[in-house]
Structure 1
Amino acid sequence: MTSPTLSPSTTAAAADEEEDESSSSPSESLDFILHRILPFLLAAALSARFLAGRWRILHSKLSLLHAALADAAASPHWPSNPLFRDNLLPALRATLRSLRALSARCLDHSLPGGKLRFQSDLDIASSALTVHLRDLHVLLSSGLLHHDASPSNSASDDDAAIVLPLPGPSASRAELAFFVRDLFARLQIGALDLKQKALDSLLELLASDTAKLSRVVAEEGDLPSLLRLLDPSAHFVLRDCAAAAVSLLASASDASRRAIFDEGALGPVLRLLDSGSPVLKERAAAAIQAVTADPACAWALSAYGGVSILVAACRPGSPAVQALAAGSLMNVAAVDDIRITMAEEGAVPALVELLVSGNTEAQKNAALCLATLAAMGGAEIRASILEENGHHHLLQFLREASDPEATDRALRAISALSASPTAAKHLSSSPHFFAQLTDIIKRGSPSIQQTAASLVADLNPSEDIKRSMAESMSALVEIMECPKPANAQEAAAGALTSLLAVRSNRRELSRDEKSITRLVQMLDPKNEAVGKELPVGVALALTAGSGGGVRKRLAEAGACQHLQKLAEDDVPGAKKALQRIAGGRLKNLFSVAWAQ
């Protein structure tokens, strides 16, 4: 049996001094630790023979502790920091007192309590030193000890003991940064009530100006310490508040969203969505949707096994969670590998079911996700959507759409699904569907009009259905005049060309003086708002077959002059359209032009 080379008198003297130190001021207490108790323990650790390996580890930690405390003592403001003064210093003093007692026990060769108990006590003390070193590192690295946090500068004594007051609207960047660093220090050093108040203050701070202050939190806060509170082992109250803070940071700004993603937030929030309480699931789902909205972050979802978790969250349960989970799947559906995993994990049945049973937001997200899957997933995914009667449910969702966004997403999904011959055949035989398209073309927003016109152009409905859509032709002519959104002019021209295949539609459009005037104006080479092939194509469709009245009206509106110039410029179809309209007068028109 060996022991540190310390005499009983030396140990007793240290004990006496410890008793004196217990009633001293914080400054005297820190001085006593630095110059009395730590040198004593460092000497004891070096001279130990029993469990020498553990004592050497303790010596290393005590040396680091001595250096860190010396750095802290060098700051003139450490006495005003309650985290150091009221939390760390008393806890550290208790640990060192325990170690001093352990060193005294080594002098008794009988080892009171036994060898295993002594070994366990050393391990407990060593772990406590590790915690103290971590806390000291937090305070030193945050720079908090170099700022005066005394009550006279910030708040009352009670406030300073709990948390700093929330900065006002006019607070400087430096004041905000100090407040954030202090909050995160309390999350790591304080007891449960202190951590809770710190989280409450963090949420209050973010709520006051989310976009601006989220960037400060991302830059100045210790985000890993916040994410650790999402662990199942954390207290449920802290986990709830931490999830709320992470959700706010994920949705507040690009900087804060990228920061929490880079620190590994996706994995913890997916675990919360998978197995958390209803409140935690909703907050986790909101964070996941915000994170996956960034294409640079979306790829990581499958790496965490997140697809199956999101698909499960789309199943019957919380309507809010369903909508958010569908939104996350919508965000990542364009990623090839994730799209394949979605199909394997049963995303299609879950999304189609949401079209029927989900709330409006869930329906909209499910529709847009199905649109992406149908457009980018190939024939196999389109077939799986049809197997789930997805086309029927999308048509029903379109009929019941309560706002333009719902209409747009339903149409986009239907348009993508129409690439399937089976779906196209079903859609083309639905008079009610084309009646809805007619109404959308007449009254919808530009982007919705474009999608509806594209469907009319791509599908092949019967003549009766085309005839029923005649009232939409004037709106299609107007759409052709507008260069935005992109491709809307092409869609409108294609839809018009399809509808003008019916003779009665050609006759009706020719009687619409405003539409004829607009069409002729688009043929004018000086009009650069629309490509000339589009109105030329419509003019060809309008003059197809018999019907001298159509040609006469076009000629009287000045179409021949424009078509003549377009023919000279070799615009495809212009010469043919001119021949149809001018008839026997074509030769004379060209003769006049050449004579000039």
Structure 2
Amino acid sequence: MRQDNPRQDQSSSASSSTSSPRQAIEVVSSLISFSHGIRVFAVKWKMLRNKLEELNTGLIAIENCDSNQNPILSGLVSAILVAAKNCYDLARRCVDLSYSGKLLMQSDLDVMAAKFDGLVKNLSGICTAGVLTQGFAIVVSKPGVNACKDDMRFYVRDLLTRMKIGDTEMKRQALVNLHEVVVEDERSFRVIVEVDDIVHLLVNLLDSPDIGIQEEAAKVVSLISGFDPCKSVLIGSGVMGPLVRVLESGSELGKEAAARSLQKLTENSDNAWSVSAHGGVTALLKICASGDSRGELIGPACGVLRNLVGVEEIKRFMIEEGAVSRFIKLARSRDEAVQISSIEFLQNIASGDESVRQLVVREGGIRSLVYLLDPKISSTFKSREVALRAIENLCFSSTTYINILTSYGFMDRLLFFLRNGDVSVQELALKVAYRLSGTSEEAKKAMGDAGFMSEFVRFLDAKSFEVREMASEALISVISVPKNRKRFVQDDRNISFLLQLLDQEEANSGNNKKFLISILISLTSSNTGRRKIVNSGYLKNIEKLAEAEVSDAKRLVRKLSKNRFRSMLSGLWHS
């Protein structure tokens, strides 16, 4: 394959009285292309090519600078051209296999790599000292929405250069621009992974002494840490330590970004120990305990700690540091994100651990959760949903805890949401009531006393099949208690409504018959209930259902007929 020969350009450029960045870019670019055809010492040449590309990126950033007006920059460009000529000589010998020995050539290539590394550092130093300023730097336009991947890659590489060799303001602005492109274009995530060193540089900038650069770097890391290919690169670059240090001493916005990053990165429990090893647990607990921290920071900080409780040793440390009482207080926060994150933390830390569950109860956890259900306070549907789920997980497995719930007025508040609010709120309350009805006899009795049965009846003709099913099963469960059953049948409207619904189902060929018949079967255990069903005028309809082989209809007829026969015998006996 024919190789491009840049020897002539290099020679003329190196000997030119004035060497411009544009000349150096052309020579270095040509050398990079030429090196791709080399088949020997592949590892060494890959290392050299990386250095050349890094140098080329820096040169592109200063392309518009006038080296004639700065002898230091002019001398550096000349040195780059000379080094490129010497490197081409090595490349030519490797292509022709004309070198005298492998060991000697490997040594020469190492020396050349070190030479280019020094040139890159010198260029960075000159630019940082003020040679490269915003006024001289070429401005690369941000790619549009439909731009090709190569344009995106070129733009990101330009930003990388500015972050590497620009002054403080240029670095900060490059980070701002990178954040913008990541927010606007999902393709940039993959480009960032593909562009050498950018993730590693972002991690380094988290430790920048300039608070503005640190903050902007944290914001970019926060975004890319949610992208799986970036996660592994971030972890491999040692991001945990710098993120924890931002949590400890960064700006408020920097801390928020660091906490969001850690929350995403600790979704994989393998990374939990890394956070703990750098003192992250203590820093996060301190944030959550501080009355000065904003909800935007406390929310993700809670989220990180929630992710870490799966590690037993870390969980025990949190408990010893008073995390339970701290998060119970946070559950009463006015900030929705803080409420939700703290409640989820309490659920996680108590999950499968009865001793921690008891601690949550002792510290007033149940009272705080019931408080969030108070209709008088301003609370979102999401917060109440999370609170109800936590109550179910923490309390429904214990009669003692259910009794505590009842003493705090939980039944009345659940009944309120069952009766009021939009459909989503009512259905949520019904799901919780349905689960509560299956927990204990005490819960069933309390529900009967509170007035849940009439509400369950109301949901029996709901449009949703799931709602009708939950309402019927909850009602069957609650009326299994004799006291509740007696109260239910004493209200003539209850049985009458059930029979009317059954009649409508028969007329409309609905699929609600099974639920209704199951409830009526439960009521036949009551003498009053049986009598009201028999005397209702709907008995013939029930018998027709039995003849039509409708599920459980025959069983209902047998129960009603058996008791009618007993009544008949009783009448004959006493006549």
TM-score range, shorter chain: 0.5 to 0.7
Query: In 2, are the aligned partners of 1:447 and 1:485 still within 8 Å (CA)?
Result: no
For 2:469 and 2:155, how far apart are their aligned partners in 1?
A: 48
Q: Is the 8 A contact 1:273 1:281 kept in 2?
A: yes
User: Any idea what SS the aligned residue of 1:511 has?
Assistant: helix
Give, as a single letter, the amino acid of the residue that structure 1 aligns with 2:19: S
- TM-score (norm: length of structure 1): 0.65
Q: Secondary structure at the match of 1:328?
A: helix
Is 2:245 the counterpart of 1:271?
yes
CA, structure 1 residues 370+212, in 2 after alignment: closer, same or farther (shift >3 Å)? same
Q: 1:230 deviation in Å?
A: 0.9
Asked if the contact 2:52/2:116 (under 8 Å) is kept, the reply is no
Shift, 1:583, TM fit: 3.4
Asked if the contact 1:285/1:325 (under 8 Å) is kept, the reply is yes
Match of 2:166 among 160, 172, 190: 190
8 Å Cα contact 2:172-2:212 kept in structure 1: yes
Letter in 2 for 1:361: A
SS at match of 2:383: helix
State the partner residue of 2:298.
Answer: 322
Q: Please tell me whether the aligned partners of residues 68 and 136 of structure 1 are also in contact (alpha carbons under 8 angstroms).
A: no
Higher mean displacement: 458-467 or 379-388: 458-467
For the structure 1 residues 416 and 211, does the alpha-carbon distance in structure 2 shift closer, same or farther, using more than 3 Å as the test?
A: same
1:414 Cα deviation (Å)? 1.4
Identity %: 22
Out of 442, 462, 467, the position equivalent to 2:449 is: 467
2:397 maps to 1:423: no
Q: Is the contact between residue 539 and residue 577 of structure 1 (CA under 8 Å) also seen in structure 2?
A: yes
Residue 549 of structure 1 and its aligned partner are, at CA, apart by: 0.8
1:411 aligns with 2:388: yes
The residue matched to 2:140 in structure 1 has which SS?
Answer: coil
Match of 1:579 in 2: 558
Structure 2 letter corresponding to 1:378: D
- Of the structure 1 ranges 64-73 and 23-32, higher mean CA displacement relative to structure 2 is found in 64-73
Question: Offset of 1:32 from its aligned partner?
Answer: 11
Structure 1's unaligned 5+ residue stretches are: 1-17, 34-62, 101-125, 138-156, 588-596
Q: Are 1:289 and 2:263 an aligned pair?
A: yes
Q: Distance in 2 between matches of 1:492 and 1:135?
A: 81
Q: 1:301 aligns with which of 253, 272, 275?
A: 272
* Partner secondary structure for residue 174 of structure 1: helix
1: CA distance between counterparts of 2:469 and 2:246?
42
Aligned partner of 1:508: which letter?
Answer: D
Equivalent-residue separation in structure 2 for 1:515 and 1:584 (angstroms): 20
Q: Which amino acid aligns with 1:414?
A: I
Alignment-derived partner of residue 244 in structure 1: 219
- CA apart distance, 1:405: 0.9
Q: What do the CA deviations read for 1:128-170 (whole angstroms, capped 9, x no partner)?
A: 9645457999xxxxxxxxxxxxxxxxxxx97881541222233
User: Which residue in the other structure is 2:432 paired with?
Assistant: 451
Whole-angstrom CA distance in 1 between matches of 2:468 and 2:75: 71
User: What residue in structure 2 maps to residue 227 of structure 1?
Assistant: 203
Which 10-residue stretch deviates more, 497-506 or 238-247?
497-506
* Change in CA separation of 1:28 and 1:166 when aligned onto 2, cut-off 3 Å: closer
Match of 2:19 in 1: 24
The whole-number CA distance in structure 1 between the counterparts of 2:478 and 2:444 is: 14
What's the counterpart of residue 102 of structure 2? none
Deviation at residue 304 of structure 1 after TM alignment? 1.9
The reply to whether residue 542 of structure 1 matches residue 523 of structure 2 is yes
Following the alignment from structure 2 to structure 1, what is the Cα–Cα distance between the partners of residues 182 and 201? 17
- What is the rounded CA distance, in whole Å, between the counterparts of 1:542 and 1:215 in structure 2? 65
> What's the CA shift string for 1:302-352, capped at 9, x where partnerless?
432144433332112313222222233345556767655544543311210
Instruction: Check whether the contact 2:18–2:74 (CA below 8 A) recurs between aligned residues.
Output: no
Task: Measure the CA separation in 1 of the matches of 2:50 and 2:443.
Answer: 83
Matches within 5 A, 1:347-426: 347-357=323-333, 359-374=335-350, 376-399=351-374, 400=377, 402-418=379-395, 419-426=397-404
Asked if the contact 1:552/1:581 (under 8 Å) is kept, the reply is: no
Contact 1:163 1:194 in 2 (8 A): no
Distance between the aligned counterparts of 2:356 and 2:47, measured in 1? Answer: 65
> CA 1:276/1:381 → structure 2, altered by over 3 Å: closer, same or farther?
same
Letter aligned with residue 212 of structure 2? V
Q: Evaluate the alpha carbon distance shift between residue 70 and residue 173 of structure 1 in structure 2; reply closer, same or farther with a 3 A threshold.
A: closer
Work out whether residues 493 and 535 of structure 1, in 8 Å CA contact, stay in contact via their aligned partners in 2. Answer: no
Distance 1:329 1:555 in 2: 60
Q: Does 1:435 align with 2:412?
A: yes
* Residues 222, 257 of structure 2: 8 Å contact kept: yes
CA spacing shift, 1:539–1:478, aligned 2, 3 Å: same
Matched letter for residue 319 of structure 1? R
Indicate how the Cα distance of structure 1 residues 92 and 394 shifts in structure 2: closer, same or farther if over 3 A, else same.
farther
Equivalent pair of 1:473/1:496 in contact (CA under 8 Å): no
1:515-559 Cα distance to aligned partner (Å, 9 max, x none): 4444678899x86689x5x65653333333221114544954844
Amino acid at match of 2:457: S
Q: Which moved more, 1:181-190 or 1:77-86?
A: 77-86
TM-score w.r.t. the length of structure 2 is 0.67
Could you tell me which of 470, 477, 482 is aligned with 2:465? 482
Which letter does structure 1 place at the counterpart of 2:161?
A: A
Provide the secondary structure at the position in 1 that maps to 2:449.
helix
Counting only pairs closer than 5 Å after superposition, residues 502-513 of structure 1 correspond to structure 2 as 502-508=485-491, 511=494, 513=496
Read off the aligned partner of 1:205 and give its amino acid letter: V
For the residue of structure 1 that corresponds to 2:372, the secondary structure is helix
Do the aligned partners of 1:223 and 1:260 also contact (CA within 8 Å) in 2?
yes
Q: CA deviation at 1:29?
A: 6.8
Report how far residue 388 of structure 1 moved.
0.6
CA positional deviation for 1:298 = 4.1
Question: CA 1:172 to 1:492, structure 2 compared with 1: closer, same or farther past 3 Å?
Answer: farther
Residues 552, 522 of structure 1: alpha-carbon distance in 2 compared, 3 angstrom cutoff: same
Alignment check: 8 A CA contact 1:195 1:238 kept? yes
Query: CA offsets, 1:336-380, max 9 Å, x none?
Result: 676555445433112101123453321222123323444x23211
Which string of whole-angstrom CA distances, capped at 9 and with x for unpartnered residues, describes residues 278-317 of structure 1? 232122122233444xx4x244224321444333321123
In the TM superposition, residue 223 of structure 1 has moved relative to its aligned partner by 1.3
In structure 2, what is the Cα distance between the partners aligned to 1:257 and 1:66?
A: 25
Q: Which secondary structure state, in structure 2, belongs to the residue aligned with residue 314 of structure 1?
A: helix
Amino acid at match of 1:362: V
Distance 1:96 1:559, change over 3 A: farther
Structure 1 match to 2:150? 174
**Deviation (angstroms), 1:442:** 3.2
**Are 2:20 and 2:66, in contact at CA under 8 Å, matched by a contact in 1?**
no
Q: Secondary structure at the match of 1:501?
A: helix
Query: 8 Å contact 2:495–2:532 — kept in the other structure?
Result: no
Partners in 2 of 1:300 and 1:522 — Cα distance? 57
Return closer, same or farther for 1:442/1:32 CA change in 2, 3 Å cut-off.
Answer: closer
Query: What does 1:147-158 align with in structure 2 at a 5 Å threshold?
Result: none
How many residue pairs align between the two structures?
483
Q: Is contact 2:414–2:429 with CA below 8 Å preserved after alignment?
A: no
The one-letter amino acid of 1:505's match is F
Q: How far did 1:200 drift?
A: 1.8
